[in-house]
Amino acid sequence: MRSSLLPRYVEREHRVSVQCPCTLVESDGYEVEAQLVNLSRKGFGVYSTEELVTHETVYLKTYRSGAQRARLLWTRGRNAGGIFLEKAAAMS
């Protein structure tokens, strides 16, 4: 069997479901309100008030963590998922 016919399997980090308001700041400074819906050590999922652009670098801001630099890996309508580009600072 050809390997290209096999389903693609990507191991994902454990995700935690959350409901947290957030803001995505695009590279031009435009801010999009969103809801953080899941979170892992390396990434996140959001539902935004507007459609987002795949592969865009953004800042994800929440009231608890400040701004984290991230890249959107996929978008589907108003849903999007991304990875953090920097490690988060330890919470005190």
Burial of 23 (0-12, 13-18, 19+ CB in 10 A): middle
Question: pLDDT, tens digit, for every residue of 36-73?
Answer: 999 999 999 999 999 999 999 999 999 888 899 999 99
The predicted-structure confidence for 14-43, as pLDDT tens digits, reads as follows 888 999 999 999 999 999 999 999 999 999
**Three-class SS state of 85:** coil
Superfamily of domain 12-84: predicted glycosyltransferase like domains (2.40.10.220)
Residue spans per domain, the chain: 12-84
- Is the pLDDT at 2 greater than 90? The verdict is no
Torsion region of 85: left, alpha or beta (phi above 0 gives left; psi -120 to 50 gives alpha): alpha
65's CB contacts (< 8 A; 6+ apart) are 88, 91
Global confidence as pTM: 0.78
What's the token pair of residue 89? Answer: 């600072």
